[in-house]
Structure 1
């Protein structure tokens, strides 16, 4: 009788009722502005001091079908970020750029065709699907930053004994909360600085970018795209859902939780802030982490948002047979078309 389950369920329902009541009292524009401000507050946007980019080229390697640069750049509060920039080989004109954000695993190398030690991986791709490689093959300049807490950006304790694939999410998130900073907020701000860097490159066409995120990388992509209108086309893979159906239903990594979010929004409300800009959702029907039933709930709500914004044709989705994994068979051509339309002004 002392289990808190029923009270927690009632708490969710009471917050849901409050949100719906407030939305009924507002215009669509007022709701949108309130949600954007709420998201910015939850992410503590502006709390951390923005640094100079001061990019440094660390290496430049010729691969079979692309050039691979390794750079580092400044973001906020003294953090420096290593990143790969993949450039189509032999392309002389400027190219559209895509920010590729990896999920939980061994970091930026995992989606860039490399093993954890940086050696080239010529075998079959894992669940991450090497989507940075797939995107550069389609003519994009692709930037793959090392998200803090993974790969080379783990805390020293996680780097001991040659461990591969673990993360520093728990420790980083816990410690940052003591300063009033969320790990998601830091990651979103670093993604925005990555966009700042991309748009300084002379080989990048236009003043906007595409974004492709998988799992935890899609969380960052969704919030960054919601707040940063330079992101014109976004692919969210193995993440779109509801909070209740995903991170409140199963035990997830702490980096998924956004302070105060349910006071003003459910997850589909936040993803809806991307409208009327182009959005594609890709998710596996057998994904236990982000279950398809509540992915479909999110898609239905987003259809309504895009219809109201007069942009129904800019929302796409692909529910494929698969688990928590990348399937870009429809997402890759969609992103090519969406960015082509953006750069041509259509």
Structure 2
């Protein structure tokens, strides 16, 4: 018995005494410490943001929407390309949604495009082209390329198939040497995406949402938790407990937050979104985020939203699917919350 599995189980079990005491502490008191620990775990954010300097790269008229590709700066020499899908015949300012892709070939995968940027006429994959689904419901969908994917991979990875290759591991290991995390840098860039939205004359900044799938669910959830400019969030195939998913199987290293567990489990981090709107969807046959752990996370989130007197702003759809976007209820829920 030389394998370390029992030791890792012991580490988690040793937290049971701590977690058993937390229900006696009202959520409205505990959430301050949870938020502080989350920020500490993410590592220091860059001290000074770069000027956005947004640039329009192209503007194409599609059947039911306008497709723009833009770029803007976040920090240092980092520039972010993003697809912006705009409803046709838009009058006045419209609600906008930050759309965060999961692991795959990047923002094109949710914007209805193939890896080379041409229209994807094939059956949508697990991302379901969900940015297109949002724009078709009257919302401006903004899909930034997450650092480490697609066109934002490191040079050594850029010649590989973007469907199978990311730079998550390379970025994570290098940033750790500076006491930083790739999750922290991505969340900083998520804040800059909100800053970019504020520069657009077609966006109503009082009606901003966020939607993310799988690894993009981290940005949709924690980005919404940390930035109250986001009024409503949809989290697809990510909500779980740490024990039920990240500690039970191998996930990409970009999901792991240093030293977070002694203070909070994942449902409590997501619960920082309360009392703002939150919709959780997950497939009951998802092997990466098993349904039992999803249900446990939902139970905790119900308690948090009840403590915030906002239970009517929390909804869940456990659909008959696997690790994928559904949207059967979440798209319309988001449109309703943002008053399209």
1:18–1:82 distance in 2 versus 1, CA, 3 Å: same
Partner of 1:2: 2
Q: State the match for 2:289 in structure 1.
A: 290
| 1:174–1:310 distance in 2 versus 1, CA, 3 Å | same
Q: CA–CA distance in 2 between the matches of 1:63 and 1:231? A: 28
Check whether the contact 1:102–1:217 (CA below 8 A) recurs between aligned residues: yes
> 1:48/1:78 Cα in 2 relative to 1: closer, same or farther (>3 Å)?
farther
Is structure 2 residue 144 aligned with structure 1 residue 145? Answer: yes
Deviation at 1:130, TM superposition (A): 0.5
Distance 1:207 1:20 in 2: 39
Q: Could you list the per-position Cα deviations for residues 20-41 of structure 1 after superposition, in whole angstroms to 9, with x for gaps in the alignment?
A: 43664x4433311111111111
RMSD: 1.5
Matches within 5 A, 1:91-130: 91-130=90-129
Mapped pair 1:271 → 2:270? yes
Distance in 2 separating the partners of 1:58 and 1:164:
23
Contact map agreement 2:27 2:307 (CA 8 A) in 1: no
Q: Quick one: distance in 1 between partners of 2:66 and 2:44?
A: 34
Name stretches of at least 5 consecutive residues in structure 2 with no aligned partner: none
CA contact (8 A) 1:45 1:189 kept: no
**Corresponding residue number in structure 2 for 1:170:** 169
Give me the TM-score of the superposition, normalised by structure 1.
Answer: 0.95
Where structure 1 has 5 or more consecutive residues not aligned to the other structure, the ranges are: none
Matches within 5 A, 1:1-346: 1-21=1-21, 24=24, 26-160=25-159, 164-340=163-339
State the alpha-carbon separation in 2 of the partners of residues 181 and 128 from structure 1: 29
What whole-Å deviation, never above 9, does each CA across 1:223-276 have from its counterpart, x for those lacking one?
Answer: 111111111100000000001000110100001101111021000110111111
Q: Distance in 2 between matches of 1:330 and 1:161?
A: 36
The alpha carbon displacement at 1:42 in A equals 1.1
Q: Is the 8 A contact 2:100 2:144 kept in 1?
A: yes
Decide whether the 8 Å contact of 1:107 with 1:147 is kept in 2.
yes
TM-fit CA distance, 1:124: 1.4
SS in structure 2 of the partner of residue 230 of structure 1: coil
Q: Deviations over 1:125-172 (max 9, x none)?
A: 111000000000000011100001100001111122555441011111
Instruction: String of CA shifts for 1:271-319, please: whole Å, max 9, x gaps.
Output: 1111110000000011000001100000011111111111111000100
Query: CA, structure 1 residues 78+30, in 2 after alignment: closer, same or farther (shift >3 Å)?
Result: farther
Distance 1:10 1:331, change over 3 A: same
CA distance in 1, matches of 2:234, 2:121: 26
CA contact (8 A) 1:211 1:233 kept: yes
The whole-number CA distance in structure 1 between the counterparts of 2:77 and 2:133 is: 32
Work out the number of aligned pairs and report it.
Answer: 340
| CA gap 1:208/1:39 in 2 versus in 1, 3 angstroms | farther
The separation in 2 between residues aligned to 1:163 and 1:62, in whole angstroms, is 26
Determine helix, strand or coil for the equivalent of 1:205.
Answer: strand
Residue 92 (structure 1) shift? 1.8
How far does the alpha carbon of each residue in 1:26-74 deviate from its partner, in whole angstroms, 9 at most, with x for none?
A: 4433311111111111112534532111111111111111111111111
How far apart, CA to CA, are the structure 2 residues paired with 1:91 and 1:7?
Answer: 58
SS in 2 for 1:199: helix
